[in-house]
Amino acid sequence: MHRIINPPNFVSNYSLYGKEPVTDKKENILLAALQLFSNEGYNVVPTSKIAKQAGVSEGLIFKHFDNKKGLLDAIMEDAELRVNQVFAPVLFETDPIKTISKIIETPFNIREEEYNYWRLQFKLKWETEYYNPQKMKPIIDKLQWAFSELGYKDPQNEAELLSQIVESVSVNILREGLKSQLKFKSFLQQKYKV
């Protein structure tokens, strides 16, 4: 006879920054909520549905995250880290042409398993609060520097424009898939001569 041991606080993996151990059930809640929030919307998804999909009692959500908003906060913290990671190569680049080139490539480097994080970010833009227009500031500053170096007439507006284009392409990829935007990618590369 075997004894099936299933410790409730078994540590399955660690969060992105390894701050604290995450039990498998807690992880299940986070994943279920991410999927539901990003596809259906924060306001329309009841906590009961999250619990069901996570295979967990509803009460556990509140044990771990205090309230529904706390659950969203936890997810968004993760989301922000992942989004920053994708933009990081642009910030570290020292060559202006490569900077432009890399920002154009950015939306195409989003890993498919992270689409939901991005979708949630864009969605929450329209559910107030989580929207922070200053979030892209470092990127825009970097682009402005690059355009300046390359002798563009109006680097400020050029930077603003390109960052908007990149955002549009990101949204399009999320909606219609990566392949649909590939021709647009080379179009942009030609346009900016990179």
Partner DNA sequence: AAAAATAAAGTAAGTACTCACTAAAATACA
Partner DNA sequence: TGTATTTTAGTGAGTACTTACTTTATTTTT
Which parts of this chain interact with a second copy (CB under 8 A)? 41, 43-44, 122-123, 125-127, 133, 154, 157, 160-161, 164-165, 167-168, 175-176, 183-184, 187, 190
CB 185 within 8 A of CB 172: no
Q: Which stretch binds DNA (CB under 7 A): 21-29, 122-130, 169-177, 186-194?
A: 21-29
| Binding residues with DNA: total (CB under 7 A) | 26
76 C-beta neighbours (distance < 10 Å), count:
17
What's the closest the beta carbon of residue 7 comes to DNA, in angstroms? 2
The listed partner (DNA, a second copy, none) that binds 161, CB under 5 to 8 Å by sort, is a second copy
Binding segment for DNA (CB under 7 A), chosen from 17-25, 75-83, 100-108, 170-178, is 17-25
Encoding tokens for residue 172?
């399009």
- Amino acid identity of 38? S
CB of 178 to DNA, least distance (A): 32
Q: Rule CB under 7 A: is residue 59 a binding residue for DNA?
A: yes
Spell out a b/e string for 79-117, using b for 16 or more CB atoms within 10 Å of the CB, else e: beeebeebbeebeebeebeebbbbbbbbbeebeeebebb
Q: How many CB atoms neighbour CB 191 within 10 A? A: 11
- Tell me the residue type at 189: Q
Instruction: For the segment 34-53, give every residue that binds DNA (CB under 7 A).
Output: 45-49
Q: How far is the CB of 18 from DNA (least distance, A)?
A: 16
Q: Quick check: 24 binds DNA (CB under 7 A)?
A: yes
CB of 190 to a second copy, least distance (A): 8
Element (H, E) at 79: helix 68-92
